[in-house]
Amino acid sequence: KTNLIVNYLPQNMTQEELKSLFGSIGEIESCKLVRDKITGQSLGYGFVNYADPKDAEKAINTLNGLRLQTKTIKVSYARPSSASIRDANLYVSGLPKTMTQKELEQLFSQYGRIITSRILVDQVTGVSRGVGFIRFDKRIEAEEAIKGLNGQKPPGATEPITVKFANNPSQKTNQAILSQLYHSPNRRYPAPLAQQAQRFRFPPMTIDGMTSLAGINIPGHAGTGWCIFVYNLAPDADESILWQMFGPFGAVTNVKVIRDFNTNKCKGFGFVTMTNYDEAAMAIASLNGYRLGDRVLQVSFKTNKTHK
């Protein structure tokens, strides 16, 4: 009972600042701010391990709910990793635009202990996009929440909501395949790759597990990010829609709507480039099947087979 997890930290808070804040309560054995492996950016949470369980308890009582900048931090006991707690993260769509994060938590808290929650908002207007994530303490609680709430209308809603696991199993397999490709001693891929930047990570699979060498022969995209293909956009769709949809998931470097040369109307598809693989994969898992107006979008990593 000495190890704490701290959620909802401000983006610019450093490990040193985290350490001095929690060190004011008592002696700390270790402190770690979790950062993105590639970009080094803070992921907004960290772990603090005290020498004395009493100090850990005191830190929860003193610092949980503390406001730092625009955030309210959450301090709780960290749990040892085990199968029963893995994959307890839910993706929720079709939420009423007026629903707050607190109301979202109230709706789901009947099924178990919520670790974190968030509602995605339009970065320009600050209005909810009707999409959120809920991470439960245990997978069984998440399963119960899906049974109880998927297809139901929450109070004040006119439409039923969709509740499903955030990371679908096929992505797991992709991650496994990817890590094998990274770490296999005899990397088998065409020569040109070897001459590309050292940072170049092995191209992703499309979400359904099809292998593809996306990004190798797209001029200008080789080492600079992950190209995402967005299909079934309306004729009046423009770049700002793509920025708004993908921006909340992470760093977007480029968006492009493909237009008809004569009418200047969108031809139904576009491309988004994101710097970080995990953020791109999360955006795809979340936005594929997303209803935009009266259309259902298809979102996947760009493969060589899709429209040039």
Domains defined along the chain, listed by start: 3-77 (3.30.70.330), 87-169 (3.30.70.330), 226-301 (3.30.70.330)
Q: For the residues 227-246, what does the mean pLDDT come to?
A: 87
Distance CA 259, CA 302 (A): 18
C-alpha closest to that of 271 among 215, 195, 187: 215
Flag whether pLDDT at 90 surpasses 80. Answer: yes
Flag whether pLDDT at 108 surpasses 90. Answer: yes
Q: For the residues 249-262, what does the mean pLDDT come to?
A: 86
Flag whether pLDDT at 199 surpasses 50. Answer: no
C-alpha closest to that of 231 among 264, 204, 205, 258: 258
Q: Which two tokens stand for residue 279?
A: 């953020």
Packing angle of the helix pair 169-183, 277-287 (nearest 10 deg): 160
Q: For the residues 87-113, what does the mean pLDDT come to?
A: 89
Extended beta strands in the chain, E state: 3-7, 28-35, 42-50, 67-68, 71-72, 74-77, 89-93, 114-121, 128-136, 162-165, 226-231, 252-259, 266-274, 291-292, 295-296, 298-301
Which pLDDT score is estimated for 155?
81
Q: Which two tokens stand for residue 120?
A: 């995605």
Which pLDDT score is estimated for 183?
44
Q: How many CB atoms lie within 10 A of CB 292?
A: 15
Strands 266-274 and 128-136: unpaired
Do 103 and 95 meet the contact criterion of CB atoms below 8 Å apart?
no
Distance CA 114, CA 164 (A): 15
Flag whether pLDDT at 91 surpasses 80. Answer: yes
Q: For the residues 246-264, what does the mean pLDDT come to?
A: 86
Name the average pLDDT for the chain. 77
Q: For the residues 238-248, what does the mean pLDDT come to?
A: 82
Whether this model's pTM surpasses 0.75 = no
Q: Which two tokens stand for residue 200?
A: 């170049």
